[in-house]
Amino acid sequence: MGRLFGTDGVRGLANGDLTADLALHLGEAAARVLVGGTAPGRRPLAVVGRDTRISGQFLEHAVVAGLASAGVDVLRLRVVPTPGVAYLTDRLQADLGVVISASHNPMPDNGIKLLGRGGHKLDDAVEAAIEEAMDTPVALPTGADVGRVTPYASTVADYSAHLVESLDGLRLDGLTVVLDCAHGAAHEVGPRALAAAGATVIPIGDRPDGLNINSGCGSTDLRALRQAVLEHGADAGFAVDGDADRCLAVDHTGLTVDGDQLLALLAVALKDRGRLHEDTLVVTVMSNLGLHHAMRDAGIRVQQTAVGDRYVLEAMRSGGWSIGGEQSGHVILGDHATTGDGLLTALQVMARMKRTGRSLRELAEPVVRLPQVLVNVPGVDRGRTDDEVLLAAVAAAEEALGDSGRVLLRASGTEPLVRVMVEAPTQPEAQRVADGLADVVRERLAL
């Protein structure tokens, strides 16, 4: 078997790459690898949740069958956001959690994410062990040793209560917001949690039919959100994706507030309350330089990681840091969650608005985004980005830009391609520098 797990679980075309048979064997293998050390007299336990894709129904049953066949009891959470599964994995002291979702991908795709005890994502070594187990058949339990499967009745209530509790008793009365649920996993719990916190909620994208997830809505398409905010005169609007682990926003004027701006305002909020550990924010190398400037001015240190929320999580856990995330809207608030949580992000942004009496536009203003240009250069040797001439060209470009811009070279992990990213004070300047460096990449790294 080739590498099965990607950067965020197993993902592919449902019933094409990702079949019921694969899901069943993945569930059975995951049970064998992740279940161990169960206390005497306690049966191993897994929780399984999904988003609203129609393919999630058969994939859920297949995964559950695999887990139960390996002797694991299963609580079916049914439709719930990814961070809700992570929370309930921890709260219910489950040995593992499973999320069936392809996040922001189009409806035909689906995926399977596995979580270990405490609701944490798995590291590469554990994923490799699960893949190996799939290739190693063993005798399965029989009789009374097979797993039991039970629906969990209070999924939405429990997760909603957890979200509201993150506000430490603060009420959001007086705030009117639009929430775009992407016709996905947040369609029920999202409006419920925000309303329980006191906000007036105008939900859109809250009528899933199994086919319309992420279609012209949610964090991948903010047009419907922007229109609804302006139409209703709302204070702000928030959009999550299909599994609600990311969030983007628009202010009362309809302007987009991206992940960098949300991270910045939440980091400042934590610092003001004395809850920002070591005054540090964790972001990936793709975060805009404007974020770095804003954090410098606020007295907050920025710790950078490779691209991917799993690397942000690893850094946060190793450093004990409070907050991290990505420009795409993955915001991880370590005091309340083990993964990105779009609804938690929305609630905490609203809390900052409530505590300060300032609009979302005012709170987002310190991050002045620099124009960013990304040029992909295919057909090159991605293993030779340490070429001396190329590095000299990069250094010259960085010196010319100074503190007003930056250059980043990234080799693709899977194909002969190098990405050149440049930020500069103006779009034409960023494009000029990026195009020039791309030419050097082609000349020096040609295959």
Retrieve residue 34's tokens.
Answer: 């992740």
Retrieve residue 211's tokens.
Answer: 């086919």
Distances 321 to 30, 277, 389 between C-alpha atoms, Å: 29, 5, 38
Closest CA to 76 of 156, 183, 155: 155
Helix axes 289-297, 259-272, angle to 10 degrees: 10
166 is catalytic: no
- Render 23-74 in DSSP notation, one character per residue: HHHHHHHHHHHH---PPTT---EEEEEE-S-THHHHHHHHHHHHHHHTT-EE
Q: Which residue(s) pair with 110 in the sheet?
A: 12
Give the integer Cα–Cα distance in Å for 29 and 228: 46
What sign has the CA pseudo-torsion 95, 99, 103, 109? Answer: positive
Residue of 55, 101, 103, 219 marked active site: 103
Retrieve residue 70's tokens.
Answer: 């390996």
Retrieve residue 42's tokens.
Answer: 């306690």
Do 178 and 228 contact (CB within 8 A), yes or no? yes
Retrieve residue 370's tokens.
Answer: 């620099």
Closest CA to 416 of 377, 386, 387, 389: 377
Helix axes 259-272, 342-356, angle to 10 degrees: 50
Q: Which residue stretches of 135-246 are H helix?
A: 155-165, 189-196, 223-232
Do 67 and 27 contact (CB within 8 A), yes or no? yes
Cβ-based neighbours of 363, under 8 Å, separated by 6 or more: 265, 349, 352, 353, 356
Active site residues: 103
